Amino acid sequence: DLPQGDRVQALYIWIDGTGEGLRSKTKTLDKKPKSVDELPIWNYDGSSTYQAQGQNSDTYLHPVKIYPDPFRRGDNILVMCETYKYNKEPTETNHRKICKEMMDAAANLKPWFGIEQEYTLLSQDGHPFGWPKNGFPGPQGPYYCGVGANRVYGRDVVEAHYRSCLYAGIRVSGTNAEVMPAQWEYQVGPTEGIHMGDDLWVSRYILQRVAEDFGVVVSFDPKPMAGDWNGAGAHTNFSTEPMRKPGGMEAIQNAIDKMSKHHIRHIKAYDPREGKDNERRLTGAHETSSIH
């Protein structure tokens, strides 16, 4: 906690060209910004994040939301950013721009989201954290919401992440150990509109940053372990104001009917490999529906 005068460290966060990975770098500001509008646009080498060619690699960070920094604390901040190419067009993995436009168009419906984010903790060798190095733990059953060193692995990471998100102003509504040992879940929301996307991505950044301090790896892979082990998802709870009012079941059924006509298109949008990752998990077994 060394003094830093009036200067503030602003850690800019963005999604890289994989559509899954997060990157960050820190900028010194002369004073604490009063709003995101006071933050400068910044640039980085997009050829090193799968977002540009080497001969024209300048890529730009446009700040969109500020969070208190739970690591540096004080007046220091985390900054969620959108990414833009040298020609001012959004990068291929900047899905936030069009999402924001859609959320603004639907603002009168007050769309709420609650995301149940599952993840798996791994040792640095890629083996699930706490599992025997030359074998497997006992079958699934005692681990879900469990307690005890023989049933729960990595609780220190979970608790540090939980508290860090609350410090950052992210509405984490709960957490629990999941069915597979070393697998956990936390819930973000209910949050309205574009704030859900921002809060979810920053909560993922904080999780990986916390795990880094513990020497543990976070995996969001839908099926990190083959065999009779549960996968990990990000279940989405959604409603609009008409759905939440008395008689809202009609609005819910109408939405389901519309979505049912675009199943394949939606599945392709759910992961960067057009559904191939989720196909490993959505088999109809281990508490899932079939992807087909």
| Cα(265)–Cα(185) distance, integer angstroms | 27
Q: Would the pTM count as exceeding 0.85? A: yes
In angstroms, the Cα distances linking 19 to 81, 96, 100 are 14, 11, 17
Q: State residue 289's pLDDT score.
A: 80
pLDDT value at 127 more than 90: yes
CA 90 – CA 82 distance, rounded (Å):
8
Whether 80 contacts 63, CB under 8 Å? yes
Predicted pLDDT at 96: 97
Q: How many residues are given for the chain?
A: 292
pLDDT band per the 50, 70, 90 thresholds, residue 281? confident
Whether the per-residue pLDDT at 283 is higher than 80: the answer is no
pLDDT at 31 over 90: yes
Give residue 290's pLDDT: 79
The rounded mean pLDDT for the chain is 94
Mean pLDDT along residues 257-282: 86
How confident is the model at residue 291, as a pLDDT? 76
pLDDT at position 239: 97
If DSSP codes are grouped into helix, strand and coil, which group holds residue 79?
strand
CA angle at 116 for the pair 194 and 17, rounded to the nearest 5°: 55
Mean pLDDT confidence for 210-224: 96
pLDDT, position 32: 96
- Mean pLDDT score, 180-189: 97
Quote the CA–CA distance of 241 and 38 in Å, as a whole number: 33
Rounded Cα distance, 181 and 158, in Å = 13
Q: Give residue 287's pLDDT band: very low, low, confident or very high (50, 70, 90).
A: confident
